[in-house]
Amino acid sequence: MTTTSRRRAFTIVELLVVIAIIALLVSILLPAIGKARDQAKLTQSLSNLKNLGVAHASYAAEWNGRQFTLIDDNIGKYGPNADVGFQGYAAARNGRLHPGINFGTATNADGTSGSYIWTHEAGALPIHSCAQPLVMEPSNGFEYWGSFRIPNVRNFNVYVGNKFYDPTFYAPKDTIVLDAITNRGQDGTNCFDDPQEYCIANFTYPWGFIPAWSSYCLSPAGMFAAQVMDEDFTGSPLDLPGGFRSPAMDQAKYSSLKTHMLEHQWLQSRRAECNTNIQNDIGSFYESCEPFYFNHCWESNPATLFYDSHVETVGVRKAERADARVTAQAGYGLWSRDCGNWGADGYHIGASYDYANTSFHVLTTDGILGRDILAD
């Protein structure tokens, strides 16, 4: 006699139970995976800043302790404003203009090569708006400019990877810029893969080309002479003969509390991407999606490098609490509310996402001698 066995199939109810269990597991695991990825990107950003801290130390070692700068120390003595000062500088040198801002050498599609440099010439981009750490006298729409936004120029990137588009200068969460860099090189190439000092992007404006700014910005307050950011000084750095002389890094009085570089955009704990409150008429890689900045939301906590070379995230709430505490005790806060055209409005505070009200890092009171946070 032959016997046969019949395999019992799953019932619909059993299948539904299995599917429900799988869905539950996925719902539990996906947030954890997302958090792990997010943490990995933050860790990479902090690592980038740590490496940039090493580069700053190398720069200082070769330049008598000085910080990165793109402007002549004594430009202020040549005139009462940037335009007159630069022209006076040129006249004193038989027409020699202020040194240009060099992005590096590159080969064009037609085979010609050369250096991509912004120069101060008639009809060209006003280099004085870019060479200054921060434009204290905004004009002609160039209030977004300043060398604090472009640490990846040739003057400094030789201490990193000798490339303008070195990945060290870009945060993993700065997605719009990363997309531009990886897709807008000549013939759509990835500029990170381009071995040249500068990668020519298919991205130009009537008055010239625009590079993709580094994700990390320097502290312009720390790049000026400390007197410029004094609470009682209300003029321009051009009013001081040595206003543009970058102080030595070891002049940081509170090196563990004074920020040196941080993520310029709101990247950590971000809830919104495009800031319609900012109208950037001069154009940028962001085009019609100018992002919120690091100081535009209470929940923002940018990855940050300090002058003592340690890195951490600094919450806007923490910076605001520190500022309020010092204001209550001293009568003035940790960032200047009375400095040139930035004044009471601070660094684009009016374009904030919520009611964040701080300009730490950018307008630090007393500059390199000041603090941006307080010790815990």
Task: Give dist(CA 321, CA 317) in Å, integer.
Answer: 6
pLDDT of residue 3: 56
Query: Could you count the other beta carbons within 10 Å of the beta carbon of residue 272?
Result: 13
Q: What mean pLDDT do residues 34-47 have?
A: 91
268 or 179, greater pLDDT: 268
**What is the strand order of the sheet 216-218 is part of?**
216-218, 259-263, 303-306, 311-313
Helix (H) or strand (E) holding 351: none
Q: From the centroid of its chain, how far is CA 333?
A: 23
What percent of the chain lies above the pLDDT cut of 90?
A: 41
Task: Give dist(CA 103, CA 153) in Å, integer.
Answer: 5
3 or 167, greater pLDDT: 167
pLDDT value at 364 more than 80 = yes
Model pTM score: 0.86
Compute CA distances 199 → 100, 178, 187, whole Å.
18, 14, 11
Task: Give dist(CA 153, CA 165) in Å, integer.
Answer: 9
Q: How confident is the model at residue 344 (pLDDT cuts 50, 70, 90)?
A: low
Q: How much is the mean pLDDT over the chain?
A: 82
pLDDT value at 127 more than 80 = no
Q: What mean pLDDT do residues 14-37 have?
A: 82
Helix (H) or strand (E) holding 328: helix 316-330
The answer to whether the beta carbons of residues 85 and 76 sit under 8 Å apart is: yes
Domain borders along the chain are: 14-66+162-369
